[in-house]
Copies of this chain bind each other. A is one copy, B any other.
Amino acid sequence: MAMHPAPARPALSGGPLALTKESRTALRPVPEARITGGLWEARRAVNAGVSIPDGYERLAEAGNLHDLRLAAGTAEGEYANAGCPFMDSDVYKWLEAVAWQLGDPATEPERAERFAAQVAEVAELLAEAQEPDGYLDSYYQVVRPGSRFKELASGHELYCAGHLVQAAVAHHRTTGRTELLDVARRFADRIDAAFGQEEGRIDGVCGHPEIETALVELYRCTGERRYLERARYFIDRRGHGLLPGGRWGRSYWQDHAPVREAEAVAGHAVRQLYLLAGVVDVSVETGDASLLEAAERLWEEMAATKTYLTGGIGSHHSGETFGDPYELPSERAYTETCAAIASAMLSWRLLLATGRARYADHLERVLFNGFLSGVSLDGERYLYINPLQVREGHLRDEGDHTAFRTRWFRCACCPPNVMRLLASLPHYFAAAEADGLVLHQYATGSYAADGFGVEVATDYPWNGRIRVTVTEAPGADRALALRIPQWAAGRWTASAAGEEVDREAVADGWLRLRRTWRPGDTVVLDLDLAPRLTAGPVQADAVRGCAAIERGPLVYCVERVDQPDGIRLDELRLDPAGPLGEGEGPGLPSGVVAVTATGRVAAAPDGGWWPYGEVATASDAGAAETGGPGAGAPAGSVELIAVPYHLWAHREEGPMRVWIPLAGTGV
């Protein structure tokens, strides 16, 4: 194996999307992006120092590595994960996380050495396990060797291959090494040769998309256009009934309609969004505008009708699928952590492709809420599902579907997915446009492209001040674009070099300041983080009569542990006329801002054995109050404390809710 060879093709950026010169996008990732302070820096340090090292132990303990050793012939015994044909992918996602971490200058040398040794060990194992023809999938090598590429709906072979490719590309990008890339290419070549509409090939698609976006990245990494063409093939052939209708219908794997014709996101949420990520990737590399159009249309349908306030998606436990439009029950929100990650990946791609601020707005919402809730502050426990409500009397004994923080899962897709996103996160924060720099997410750090660099200092999201200092400038006219978040529209001020910026300078969500910048020039953006109450759409039955508390980009929740003793969370009402205040988050890390509000307690009347009762019809419909067992009389006021949703279930695993019924509406 060659040591540190030159990259097969120079990458234009070092992150998960290394666009080529031919890529047709409005924005590009910046080659230099570092997060050096604040919330994300702290989370990333825990990710590198705790989660990723722990991940190796967990993968060993769960038998993922053992199963690969069985394929390599270097271990004996039973296949550890016999019912699960997708366990290799968790090894690959973990490898990808390690690879990004190896490219991060903040990774301590000793840790980097240990990571490099682990990668070397696993890469050697993979090379040993790989068949001479390039095939590599421990499940189909050990458990079902006669069924390779024959169980495409549920077999996850191309899904696993895709994650192998992503890990290998990341490793190559950050280290220049090729031992993983060599393995990945051999398998990709095997797949490329096996699939297609030509005589003698398999005309099929994988039940779980992932290979599409991986093959585009492999194309970007190697310059081999056939990988791009094979990705296009997999996208074009989907939706033509090549997969069977299973327990959850053909929509489960997005095979019910070709993506260009689909009118709505459907089926398994992660599959849908990984597919759309690949759709955007193929579109920007091939120039096929119909693909980008489809992705934008489906994204909008999802955001407008199928997304929780936290940015979480996928309502259904059963099938991990999207629900119907506005089917967004809080307590039964599945909102898998992996789906939030997929959503972030898609929104980022659409942002780059189009330059539209909505995608960056959504990326921010997902990152700070539906994604970040998925991993604990200590980096040791995860949420697979991220509900917006845990009821009084919640049954803890829910098997795989627990709503509480867990060390690892039988199907452990989420933890290593969290690791790889956090490890690559800086790349998601800034972008370059034709003649300028775009700061679309805010975190202390440094971002630079094309000789134009800035440092950002901020305590965001706890504080709304974002100070940008130019560190290098080409001496020519350049634009510095700052996103004005959707929630901050009209509630911000900014100054450039001490002079107030005209608010009219904002267009389509971007504050774009164009001038000949000099090192030391500063821009200060102040976003008003005053807490606010948010209502849901009228069609969302689950949140009717309720409000949620938000502050800046953060969604808040109330947990029982913070409320006065004896108050049942189900009986708490929010007084929308009461003041909203700010304070320390009790029992939470220093700096975390909690929100206070005025609550009332609506003691539920004793409805006896049957809880339904007659509505009292008032002559004035405008003042209609439900009576009988349906109504609770508001009692005295209480101070209600809300904490950031992403920090729930850290102090007590008890009742929680994001949406709080409003007092005084009579319902």
Q: Interface residues, chain A, CB within 8 Å of chain B?
A: 245-252, 256, 264, 266, 300, 303-305, 309, 315-319, 322-327, 329-332, 358, 361-362, 389, 391-395, 397-401, 486, 532-548, 570-571, 575-578, 602, 604, 607-615, 617-624, 626-632, 659, 661-667
- Output the least CB separation between A168 and chain B (Å): 33
Q: How far is the CA of A267 from the CA of B571 in the complex (A)?
A: 25
Other-chain residue from B327, B332, B617 in contact with A533 (beta carbon distance below 8 A): B617
Other-chain residue from B304, B399, B609 in contact with A252 (beta carbon distance below 8 A): B399
Q: Which residue of B lies closest to A544 (CB)?
A: B545
Q: How far is the CA of A326 from the CA of B249 in the complex (A)?
A: 30
B305-A542 in contact (CB<8A): no
Q: Which residue of B lies closest to A611 (CB)?
A: B537
B613-A534 in contact (CB<8A): yes
Other-chain residue from B245, B537, B577 in contact with A612 (beta carbon distance below 8 A): B537
Give 10 nearest A-B pairs by CB, closest first.
A535-B630, A317-B318, A249-B397, A537-B611, A249-B399, A545-B667, A621-B664, A533-B615, A535-B626, A324-B391
B662-A667 in contact (CB<8A): yes
Q: How far is the CA of A319 from the CA of B623 in the complex (A)?
A: 42
Further pairs besides A245-B399, A538-B661: 20, Cβ < 8 Å: A247-B401, A249-B399, A266-B395, A319-B401, A329-B332, A329-B541, A535-B614, A535-B615, A535-B629, A535-B630, A537-B611, A538-B570, A538-B632, A539-B604, A544-B661, A546-B667, A576-B617, A577-B620, A621-B663, A667-B667
Q: How far is the CA of A331 from the CA of B328 in the complex (A)?
A: 10
A541-B330 in contact (CB<8A): yes
* 15 A–B pairs (Cβ distance < 8 Å), ordered by A: A248-B400, A304-B609, A315-B332, A323-B332, A327-B332, A329-B329, A330-B541, A331-B541, A533-B617, A535-B627, A535-B630, A537-B629, A538-B632, A541-B661, A544-B546
Question: Which B residues touch A543, using CB under 8 A?
Answer: 541
B541-A659 in contact (CB<8A): yes
Q: How far is the CA of A302 from the CA of B318 in the complex (A)?
A: 23
Q: Which residue of B lies closest to A302 (CB)?
A: B609
Other-chain residue from B303, B535, B539, B607 in contact with A609 (beta carbon distance below 8 A): B303
Given A544-B661, A624-B577, A629-B535, also A332-B316 (CB < 8 A): yes
A577-B619 in contact (CB<8A): yes
B318-A631 in contact (CB<8A): no
Q: Which residue of B lies closest to A334 (CB)?
A: B318
- Output the least CB separation between A239 and chain B (Å): 12
Question: Which B residues touch A623, using CB under 8 A?
Answer: 664
Q: Which residue of B lies closest to A403 (CB)?
A: B324
A326-B391 in contact (CB<8A): yes
B544-A544 in contact (CB<8A): yes
Given A304-B611, A608-B304, A611-B305, also A618-B577 (CB < 8 A): yes
- Output the least CB separation between A298 and chain B (Å): 12
Question: Which B residues touch A612, using CB under 8 A?
Answer: 309, 534-537, 548
Question: Which B residues touch A399, using CB under 8 A?
Answer: 245-249, 252, 319
A332-B332 in contact (CB<8A): yes
Given A330-B541, A332-B332, A621-B575, also A631-B325 (CB < 8 A): no
Question: Which B residues touch A571, using CB under 8 A?
Answer: 538-539
B251-A395 in contact (CB<8A): yes
Question: Which B residues touch A330, using CB under 8 A?
Answer: 541
B631-A538 in contact (CB<8A): yes
Question: Which B residues touch A576, using CB under 8 A?
Answer: 615, 617-618, 621, 624
B537-A546 in contact (CB<8A): no
B542-A329 in contact (CB<8A): yes
Other-chain residue from B323, B608, B621, B627 in contact with A577 (beta carbon distance below 8 A): B621
B665-A300 in contact (CB<8A): no
Q: Which residue of B lies closest to A657 (CB)?
A: B541
Given A247-B399, A324-B393, A609-B358, also A664-B624 (CB < 8 A): yes
A665-B533 in contact (CB<8A): no
Question: Which B residues touch A325, using CB under 8 A?
Answer: 391-393
Q: How far is the CA of A252 from the CA of B393 in the complex (A)?
A: 16
Q: Which residue of B lies closest to A252 (CB)?
A: B399
Other-chain residue from B323, B610, B617 in contact with A303 (beta carbon distance below 8 A): B610
B535-A631 in contact (CB<8A): yes
B304-A397 in contact (CB<8A): no
Q: Which residue of B lies closest to A627 (CB)?
A: B535
Q: How far is the CA of A663 from the CA of B667 in the complex (A)?
A: 12
- Output the least CB separation between A48 and chain B (Å): 33
A248-B304 in contact (CB<8A): no
Q: Which residue of B lies closest to A391 (CB)?
A: B324
A538-B604 in contact (CB<8A): yes
B544-A324 in contact (CB<8A): no
Q: How far is the CA of A614 from the CA of B609 in the complex (A)?
A: 38
- Output the least CB separation between A408 and chain B (Å): 16
- Output the least CB separation between A598 and chain B (Å): 9
Query: Considering residues A613, A624, A659, A664, which has the most beta carbons from chain B within 10 angstroms of its beta carbon?
Result: A624
- Output the least CB separation between A476 and chain B (Å): 36
A665-B667 in contact (CB<8A): yes
B662-A624 in contact (CB<8A): yes
Q: How far is the CA of A263 from the CA of B177 in the complex (A)?
A: 60
Q: Which residue of B lies closest to A299 (CB)?
A: B609
Query: Considering residues A332, A538, A621, A665, which has the most beta carbons from chain B within 10 angstroms of its beta carbon?
Result: A538
Q: How far is the CA of A638 from the CA of B394 in the complex (A)?
A: 41
Given A577-B617, A663-B621, also A570-B332 (CB < 8 A): no
- Output the least CB separation between A258 and chain B (Å): 14
Q: Which residue of B lies closest to A628 (CB)?
A: B535
